[in-house]
């Protein structure tokens, strides 16, 4: 960056500037974007171009919406979408145009970016953990840090230290420094190479870092920072966080959700985890009891089916509405009686077959697979358990008839 470039970048001279009048230098159609998208170069701009992990500003040039801003070869291009070719008449080179910034978006970016500098500074100064990369998103931000495991990061302590610097309301200063004078600053990361002027953002008395983003004037304007989660990522740790009004909004919503959960659980917000543990334990116990009752019921159904099938018959269960799990449970109960079984789960167009050890015959599953393939089914299994699913209940019934014939034939041979 040089002095001339700095003078035209109004977002650096005053990041709180929301409107400005400038002159159009160039307007060109953009061939690699949608129809009637044009790139506009201006004599100066309040729009920050995407870069350094920070998204581009949006807004308006006159009544034309700015949908993207990019820096290409040192020049800032503003991309606008027009109604047609004639819609650019008000943007002729040499004409003065009025710029309006999407201010809520800019403020969000500034709060997130300054919040990131605070978080990275605390990690570096207090724990020796370096920030490797930064991404500013619409719902949350992330930094990848040099820690190897999330357990290395004491979150409550880190947040408390960040909040302390927010409370100090320290000045956020911007310095423009030639490379030969860079040693006068204790930088948290290395400066970019081949820059005529290096831009440094300082949290006064605490942190200095090369940065091209837009920032707040004081740390108190960050208002709040909340670490949302941690995860292992490519041998390091990724931290998800939010700052500013967005962080306050997320925390307020989380509290409201907790309060609603507390009401449903009949507890206070502070006792949610204890009460939830009790409910889950009780639910688990109830589920186990219900499972035992179902097993007993399945065993009773299997015994009844055995009476009707005779001493060597295959136990057949036809289920119109019940699910595959119940069919599997019935077959398992039948096998415990030493009987082969088949459950036709018509609601799922699925057939379950189970065979006890004494009745297993090598090659049986291969025969089932051939029948299934001929009927366009999917599934598989072995000699003890086989499952096949079909496009319709009618096709499943056809498989059941053929599979039963195979089982009965082998039963006769045994």
Q: Residue 272 in contact with residue 261, Cβ under 8 Å? A: yes
- Average pLDDT over the chain, rounded to an integer: 90
Class of the CATH-defined domain 296-413: alpha beta
Q: Which range among 123-137, 265-279, 380-394 shows the weakest confidence by mean pLDDT? A: 265-279
Q: Which has more confidence, 298 or 36?
A: 298
Class of domain 3-101: mainly beta
Q: Which residue has the higher pLDDT, 193 or 353?
A: 353
CATH of domain 107-264: 3.30.980.10
Per-residue pLDDT reduced to its tens digit, 30-56? 876 666 889 999 999 999 999 988 999
Rounded CA-CA distance 76/228 in Å is 34
For the chain, report the end-to-end CA distance as a whole number of angstroms: 89
Q: Are 180 and 95 in contact (CB under 8 A)?
A: no
Per domain, the residue ranges of the chain are 3-101, 107-264, 296-413
For residue range 122-142, list pLDDT tens digits in order. Answer: 999 999 999 999 999 999 999
């Amino acid at each position: 960056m040089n002095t001339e470039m700095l003078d035209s970048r109004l977002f650096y001279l005053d990041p709180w500037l929301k409107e400005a009048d400038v002159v159009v230098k160039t307007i060109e159609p953009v061939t690699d974007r949608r129809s009637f998208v044009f790139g506009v170069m201006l004599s100066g701009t309040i729009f920050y171009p995407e870069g350094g992990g920070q998204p581009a500003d949006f807004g308006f040039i006159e009544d034309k919406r700015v949908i993207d801003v990019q820096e290409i070869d040192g020049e800032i291009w503003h991309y606008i979408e027009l109604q047609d070719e004639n819609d650019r008449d008000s943007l002729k080179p040499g004409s003065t145009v009025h710029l309006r910034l999407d201010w809520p978006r800019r403020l969000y970016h500034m709060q997130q970016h300054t919040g990131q500098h605070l978080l990275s500074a605390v990690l570096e100064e207090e724990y020796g953990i370096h920030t490797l990369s930064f991404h500013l998103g619409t719902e949350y931000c992330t930094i990848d840090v040099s820690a190897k495991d999330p357990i290395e990061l004491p979150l409550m302590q880190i947040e408390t230290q960040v909040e302390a610097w927010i409370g100090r309301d320290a000045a956020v200063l911007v310095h423009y420094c030639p490379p030969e004078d860079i040693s006068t600053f204790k930088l948290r990361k290395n400066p970019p190479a081949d820059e005529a002027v290096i831009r440094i953002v300082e949290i006064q008395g605490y942190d200095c870092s090369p940065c091209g983003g837009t920032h707040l004037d004081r740390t108190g304007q960050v208002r709040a920072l909340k670490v949302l989660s941690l995860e292992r990522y490519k041998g390091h740790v990724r931290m998800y966080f939010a700052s500013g009004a967005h962080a306050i909004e997320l925390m307020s919503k989380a509290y409201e959700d907790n309060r609603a959960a507390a009401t449903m659980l009949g507890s206070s917000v502070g006792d949610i985890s204890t009460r939830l543990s009790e409910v889950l334990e009780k639910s688990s116990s109830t589920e186990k009891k219900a499972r035992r009752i179902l097993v007993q019921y399945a065993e009773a159904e299997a015994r009844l089916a055995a009476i009707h099938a005779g001493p060597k018959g295959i136990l057949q269960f036809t289920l119109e509405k019940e699910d595959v799990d119940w069919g599997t449970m019935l077959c398992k109960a039948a096998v415990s009686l030493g009987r082969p079984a088949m459950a036709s789960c018509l609601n799922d167009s699925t057939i379950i077959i189970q065979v006890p050890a004494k009745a297993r015959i090598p090659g049986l599953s291969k025969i089932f697979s051939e029948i299934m393939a001929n009927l366009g089914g999917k599934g598989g299994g072995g000699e003890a358990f086989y499952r096949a699913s079909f496009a319709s209940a009618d096709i499943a019934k056809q498989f059941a008839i053929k599979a039963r014939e195979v089982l009965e034939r082998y039963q006769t041979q045994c």
